[in-house]
Amino acid sequence: SYVLTYVRSFFRTYIRTFIRSYVRSFVLMFVPAYVRSFVRSYVRPYKRMSVRSFEITYLLSFCRYFFRSF
């Protein structure tokens, strides 16, 4: 029973880390493009440079927040 509980906990942690890494890669793949289109559609009247800098700062803050939550 000890071995069973050990294997169970090992698999639980392994699956958890796998899901976390998968979700992280998924988010890092899809969120930047979505945020970029969102920012472009909403901040089009302003300058292009400001849009770019705002985009970069927003993405950095989002990634920081996201990695802190995990």
Residues 59, 64, 65, 70, CA torsion sign: positive
Domain residue limits at 7: 2-69
Which residue has better confidence, 29 or 6? 6
Query: What is the percent of the chain with per-residue pLDDT over 90, rounded to a whole number?
Result: 0
Average pLDDT, the chain: 76
Report the domain count for the chain: 1
CA distance 64 to 66: 5
Sorted by sequence, the CB contacts under 8 Å of residue 7 that are 6+ apart come out as none
